Amino acid sequence: MTITVRFAPSPTGNIHIGNARTALINWIYARQNAGSFILRYDDTDKARSKQEYADGIARDLAWLGIKPDRVERQSERSEAHEAATQKLKDSGLLYACYETADELDRQRKRLAMRGLPPVYNRAGLSYNAEELAKFEDEGRKPHWRFLLPNHKGDPSQPERTEIHWDDLVRGPQTVDLASLSDPVLIREDGSWLYTLPSVVDDIDMGVTHIIRGDDHVTNTGVQIAIFEALGATAPGFGHHNLLTTASGEGLSKRLGSLSLQALAEDHYEPMAVASLATLIGTSGPVEAVATMDELISRFDIASVTKSAAKFDVSELDKLNAKLVHELSFGAVADRLTVAGAVGDEAFWLAVRGNLDKVEDAAFWWQKIENAAPQIDAEDTEFVQTAAGLLPAEPWDETTWGTWTAAVKEVTGRKGKGLFMPLRKALTGESHGPELAAILPLIGRERTLARLS
Ligand code: GLU
């Protein structure tokens, strides 16, 4: 059986780094097992789902290096969802309820006051004709609940009923169905919540493993019961830990800064983002991995830990810089041109070790092309002497050594006192790439002009 996974975002906003984690873990699991990865848009919420968000998700996944084997849309599968709904209704497992949100809230408060868990009382199973007529008169529309199989024939007597699964991440798991309210599957306006369409699609699409965030663990207990009510065998499950911001807040689609789009626009390397989003919150080291293939061979889903992991942008910066320092000219040439750093390979090799982001190369390109020299008053004479000692062209990476040896000899300066005034005069900066590498790029004429 082909291992089949799905990433099932609702296209109701930009996906963030936490969604990327789910997508990546699914993608890697599929690739490790010669399996198939489905991108499934959970777009049953018509009011909030937007095509532009769906397009954005496809774009963001492609940026990360994820190429779905199949794309599906839940909104196109309402016939299948309808059929399953009918099947559950026919078998008495989906029942109409008329309580308002306020009434349910009051019920929960009453239970809480008696120290009881806030479990729905299943009143919907036994309304009398008078009650139904009253709801009708008031113009109430029903919502529909799934009758959890937590009783031995009499739903008013729920008993502890354990659902078990061996989680790919968390190991053996147990959910007691008697501790849960019968879940609402259909809202008053007739629309489905994600719970049932998801199960129907997972069955029809041959999903073998549902890998998602651990905020869904309780859902899994419910969904396994729905799989079985529909006559299917539940697939395998894996629930990974969630990411929070560095300050411990949950991620949400409203949190624009950690959206993949924002990270891409900020010029982060996709593999830096993918490395961190995948390897953080595992028992292994968090390292900058240069290629998706390497990440696939390195990641083990069982190494994901149970507690939430903090996504820290400063950690991303470090991983990013590490990757950038190793990138070849060929890998970045086009981006350099776009960024306005139109140097050649020698330029790239000279500056890459000083960059946090590839596009920052433009800064050093400007410094090479057109720096405003900085010469402190006490160095004026020294710099002029140095100018007089500049070797003749052609220049190469040995020129700096030859020149500064001569300057040292004549002026008696050494170390920082020798190099710093020259660096500041040549680049206008007190830090930067190796001068041996950038001196030939500046060239004799411009060097002379900056020293005088
Ligand atoms: N659309 C659901 C969500 O984004 C999918 C959950 C799942 O993977 O089953 O939460």
Distance 436 CA to ligand 1 centre (A): 54
Reported as type and span, the H/E element at residue 239 is strand 236-240
pLDDT at 256 over 80: no
Tens digit of each residue's pLDDT (9 = 90 or more) over 289-323: 999 999 999 999 999 999 999 999 999 999 999 99
Q: What is the pLDDT of residue 1?
A: 86
Instruction: Tell me how far CA of residue 385 lies from CA of 44, 380, 381, 406, in angstroms.
Output: 76, 9, 6, 10
The predicted model gives 78-84 an average pLDDT of: 97
Task: Judge if the beta carbon of residue 212 lies within 6 A of ligand 1.
Answer: yes
Distance 287 CA to ligand 1 centre (A): 28
Which of 53, 75, 198, 207 for mutating ligand 1's site (highest number of atoms within 8 Å of CB)? Answer: 198
Report which protein residue has its CA nearest ligand 1's atom 6: 8
C-beta of residue 240 within 8 angstroms of C-beta of residue 304: yes
C-beta of residue 202 within 8 angstroms of C-beta of residue 195: no
Radius of gyration of the chain (CA): 31
| Phi and psi at residue 284, to the nearest 5° | -90, 175
pLDDT at 251 over 90: no
Tens digit of each residue's pLDDT (9 = 90 or more) over 99-120: 999 999 999 999 999 999 999 9
Tens digit of each residue's pLDDT (9 = 90 or more) over 185-204: 999 999 999 999 999 999 99
Report which protein residue has its CA nearest ligand 1's atom 4: 9
Supply the DSSP string of 148-182, one letter for each residue.
Answer: -S-SSS-TTS----EEEEEETTTEEEEEEGGGSPP
Task: Judge if the beta carbon of residue 10 lies within 6 A of ligand 1.
Answer: yes
Which of 7, 10, 81 for mutating ligand 1's site (highest number of atoms within 8 Å of CB)? Answer: 10
Q: What's the rounded Cα separation, in Å, for the pair 225 and 146? A: 10
Count of positions (residues) in the chain: 452
Distance of CA 136 to the CA centre of its chain: 46
Tens digit of each residue's pLDDT (9 = 90 or more) over 201-223: 999 999 999 999 999 999 999 99
Tokens 């029809």, residue?
204
Query: Which tokens is 64 given?
Result: 């990360």
Q: What's the rounded Cα separation, in Å, for the pair 380 and 411? A: 13
The predicted model gives 394-406 an average pLDDT of: 97
Q: What's the rounded Cα separation, in Å, for the pair 301 and 298? A: 10
pLDDT at 268 over 90: yes
- Which distant-in-sequence residues (6+ apart) come within 8 Å of 73 by Cβ? 40, 41, 43, 54
Distance 9 CA to ligand 1 centre (A): 6
Task: Judge if the beta carbon of residue 8 lies within 6 A of ligand 1.
Answer: yes
Atom of ligand 1 nearest to the CA of 215: 10
Q: What is the pLDDT of residue 254?
A: 63
Instruction: Tell me how far CA of residue 153 lies from CA of 40, 91, 162, 352, 371, in angstroms.
Output: 37, 13, 16, 70, 84
pLDDT confidence tier of residue 224, bands split at 50, 70 and 90: very high
pLDDT confidence tier of residue 257, bands split at 50, 70 and 90: low
Tens digit of each residue's pLDDT (9 = 90 or more) over 10-67: 999 999 999 999 999 999 999 999 999 999 999 988 889 999 999 999 999 999 999 9
> Strand order in 236-240's β-sheet?
70-73, 36-41, 4-7, 209-213, 236-240
SS percent in the chain: helix, strand, coil, step 5: 50, 15, 35
Distance of CA 290 to the CA centre of its chain: 17
Q: Mean pLDDT score of the chain, rounded to an integer?
A: 96
> Do you find a cis peptide bond into 235, omega within 30 degrees of 0?
no
Distance 320 CA to ligand 1 centre (A): 29
Q: What is the pTM of this model?
A: 0.92
Among 77, 75, 80, 7, which Cα is nearest to 37's? 7
CA dihedral (48, 50, 54, 55) positive or negative: negative
Instruction: Give the alpha-carbon dihedral of 326, 329, 331, 333, to 10 degrees.
Output: 140
Task: Judge if the beta carbon of residue 198 lies within 6 A of ligand 1.
Answer: yes
C-beta of residue 84 within 8 angstroms of C-beta of residue 227: no
Q: What's the rounded Cα separation, in Å, for the pair 195 and 144? A: 12
C-beta of residue 20 within 8 angstroms of C-beta of residue 39: no
Query: Which tokens is 67 given?
Result: 């190429």
Distance 127 CA to ligand 1 centre (A): 33
Reported as type and span, the H/E element at residue 403 is helix 399-411
Q: What are the chain's domains? A: 4-72+194-242 (3.40.50.620), 83-179 (3.90.800.10), 256-325 (1.10.1160.10), 329-369 (no CATH), 371-451 (1.10.10.350)
Distance 89 CA to ligand 1 centre (A): 24
